[in-house]
C-alpha cells in the first residue's frame, strides 16, 4: 500500500513539474539572433526587436519570424516600347524593414509565417512566406517588371540594362516600402526576344554591326598606331637633340666650374700661406708675451714675497712692542697695587715684613736654609744686622759662616 502511494506521489510530482515547465516555457519567449520578435496588444505594436526575450502577459499577441534576407526570382514576358515581346529573368533581395513600425506592417500585410505556431506549408523556418504567399509576391513583382519594360526600347533593354534595373528598383521600393519591406538589391539575368526569327535577325544585324565596328576599330587602331609611332619618332629626335644640347651645355658648365674651382684653390692656397705666416708671427709674439709674462710673474712673486716678509717682520715687531707694553703696563699696575697695599699697612707690619725680607736676603747671600728673624730686646733689626755683618766679614770660609748662621738662628 505504501509503495503504491509513493508511486502515485512521484507521478503526481512529475506531472506538476512538467506542467510548471510547460507554463514557464509558454510565458518566456526567446528570439534567436537572426529572428524578429514582436509584441502586439490591443491591435497596437508594443515592442519589437531582433534577438530579444519577452515575457508573455495576458492579452499579448507574440509573433516570431526570420530577419534574414529573402530572395525572390522572377521570369516575366513583357513588351518593349516598340511592342516587341521579350522574356526578362532576374531576382532581388528583400527583408523586413527596420523602421519602428516596419515589422508590424510586414506581418500584417504580407502574411508572414509566425514561428511560434508555424503553418504546415512553411518549407523552412528561415522563410518568411509560404508557397502561396511567395507566388502572389512574385506576381506583384512580374507586374512591376512589365510596367517598367514598356517604357524602354528593345535596344536599351538588351544593351543598357542599368537603366532598366534602376527603374525596377525604384518601382519595387515605392510599392513595397509601405508594406514594411526593404528592397536591398536588384539583379537582371537576361533579356531575350520571345520571337526566334527576330532574335536571329537581331543576332545577324548585331553581328554585322559588330564586324563593322571591329573594322572601324581596327582602322582607327592602325591610324592611332601610326600617329603614335610618328609622335614617338618626333619625340625621340627632339629628345636626342635636347640631350645633345644639354650635354654640350653641361660640358661647358663643367669647364667653367673647373676653372672656377682652380681659381678658388689658388686663392685658398694663398690664404693658407698667409694664415701660416700670420700664425708664425702670432706664435713668436705669443712666445715673447709668455716670456714677458713669466718675468713679470717672477718679479711680482719676488716683490710679493719681500712684501710678505716685511709685513711679517712688521707684525712681529708690533707684536713684541705690544707684548712689552702689556708687560710694562702689567708691572706698573702690579707695583701700583703693591704700593697701594703697602700704604694701607700699619708701621708695625711694615717693620716686620722689612725684617723678614732682610733675613731672607741675608740667608740667600750666606746660603742659609730656613732663616727666620727673631727680635730680642729693644735693639732694632737694622742694628743687629749691621753687627752681624761686621762679624761675618771676619770669617774666612763658608763653613764658618754657616756655623755662625746656625748660632745666630739659635740665639
Write the DSSP assignment of 284-296 as a string of letters: HHHHHHHHHHHHH
- 62: its cell numbers: 507574440
Whether pLDDT at 204 is above 70: no
pLDDT tier at 170, thresholds 50, 70, 90: very high
The mean pLDDT value for 209-216 works out to: 60
Helices (H), 67-195: 102-110, 131-149, 154-159, 161-176
Q: For the chain, which residues make up each domain, given as ranges? A: 17-64, 68-206, 233-344, 347-410
Min mean pLDDT across 45-54, 202-211, 251-260, 330-339 is at 202-211
Please name every residue paired with 95 in a beta bridge, in sequence order, or none if there are none: 182
Cβ 154 vs Cβ 86: under 8 Å = yes
Looking at per-residue pLDDT, the higher value among 68 and 286 belongs to 68
Looking at per-residue pLDDT, the higher value among 175 and 229 belongs to 175
From the options 3.40.50.280, 3.30.479.30, 3.40.50.720, 3.30.70.260, give the CATH code of 68-206.
Answer: 3.30.479.30
Angle at 93 between CA 127 and CA 89, to 5 degrees: 110
The pLDDT assigned to 390 comes to 54
**pLDDT tens digit string along 273-296?**
888 888 788 888 888 888 888 888
**pLDDT tens digit string along 345-384?**
777 777 777 777 777 776 777 665 554 445 444 455 555 5
Q: Which residues contact 115 (CB under 8 A, 6 or more apart)?
A: 35, 64, 65, 66, 125
The pLDDT assigned to 192 comes to 84
The mean pLDDT value for 133-142 works out to: 91
Q: Which residues contact 156 (CB under 8 A, 6 or more apart)?
A: 163, 164
The mean pLDDT value for 185-195 works out to: 85
Amino acid at each position: 500500500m505504501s509503495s503504491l502511494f509513493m508511486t502515485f506521489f512521484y507521478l503526481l510530482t512529475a506531472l506538476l513539474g512538467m506542467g510548471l515547465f510547460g507554463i514557464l516555457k509558454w510565458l518566456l519567449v526567446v528570439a534567436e539572433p537572426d529572428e524578429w520578435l514582436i509584441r502586439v496588444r490591443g491591435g497596437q505594436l508594443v515592442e519589437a526587436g531582433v534577438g530579444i526575450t519577452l515575457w508573455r502577459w495576458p492579452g499579448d499577441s507574440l509573433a516570431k519570424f526570420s530577419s534574414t534576407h529573402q530572395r525572390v526570382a522572377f521570369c516575366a514576358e513583357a513588351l518593349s516600347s516598340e511592342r516587341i515581346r521579350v522574356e526578362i529573368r532576374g531576382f532581388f533581395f528583400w527583408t523586413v524593414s527596420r523602421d519602428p513600425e516596419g515589422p508590424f506592417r510586414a506581418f500584417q500585410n504580407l502574411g508572414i509565417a509566425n514561428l511560434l505556431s508555424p503553418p504546415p506549408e512553411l518549407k523552412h523556418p528561415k522563410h518568411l512566406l509560404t508557397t502561396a504567399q511567395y507566388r502572389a509576391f512574385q506576381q506583384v513583382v512580374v507586374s512591376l517588371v512589365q510596367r517598367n519594360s514598356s517604357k524602354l526600347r528593345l535596344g536599351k533593354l538588351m544593351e543598357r540594362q542599368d537603366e532598366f534595373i534602376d527603374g525596377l528598383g525604384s518601382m519595387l521600393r515605392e510599392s513595397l516600402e509601405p508594406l514594411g519591406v526593404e528592397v536591398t538589391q536588384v539583379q537582371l539575368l537576361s533579356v531575350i526576344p520571345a520571337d526566334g526569327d527576330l532574335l536571329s535577325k537581331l543576332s545577324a544585324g548585331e553581328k554585322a554591326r559588330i564586324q563593322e565596328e571591329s573594322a572601324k576599330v581596327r582602322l582607327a587602331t592602325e591610324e592611332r598606331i601610326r600617329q603614335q609611332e610618328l609622335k614617338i619618332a618626333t619625340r625621340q629626335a627632339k629628345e636626342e637633340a635636347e640631350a645633345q644640347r644639354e650635354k654640350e651645355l653641361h660640358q661647358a658648365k663643367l669647364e667653367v666650374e673647373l676653372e672656377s674651382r682652380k681659381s678658388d684653390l689658388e686663392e685658398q692656397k694663398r690664404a693658407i700661406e698667409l694664415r701660416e705666416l700670420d700664425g708664425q708671427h702670432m706664435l713668436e709674439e705669443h712666445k715673447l708675451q709668455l716670456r714677458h709674462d713669466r718675468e713679470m710673474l717672477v718679479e711680482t712673486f719676488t716683490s710679493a714675497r719681500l712684501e710678505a716678509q716685511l709685513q711679517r717682520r712688521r707684525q712681529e715687531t708690533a707684536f713684541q712692542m705690544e707684548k712689552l707694553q702689556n708687560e710694562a703696563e702689567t708691572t706698573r699696575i702690579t707695583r701700583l697695587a703693591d704700593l697701594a697695599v703697602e700704604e694701607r699697612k700699619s708701621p708695625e707690619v711694615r717693620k716686620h715684613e722689612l725684617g723678614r725680607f732682610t733675613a731672607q736676603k741675608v740667608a740667600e747671600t750666606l746660603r742659609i736654609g730656613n732663616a727666620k728673624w727673631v727680635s730680642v730686646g729693644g735693639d732694632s733689626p737694622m742694628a743687629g744686622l749691621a753687627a752681624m755683618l761686621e762679624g761675618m766679614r771676619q770669617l774666612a770660609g763658608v763653613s764658618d759662616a754657616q756655623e755662625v748662621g746656625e748660632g745666630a738662628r739659635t740665639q
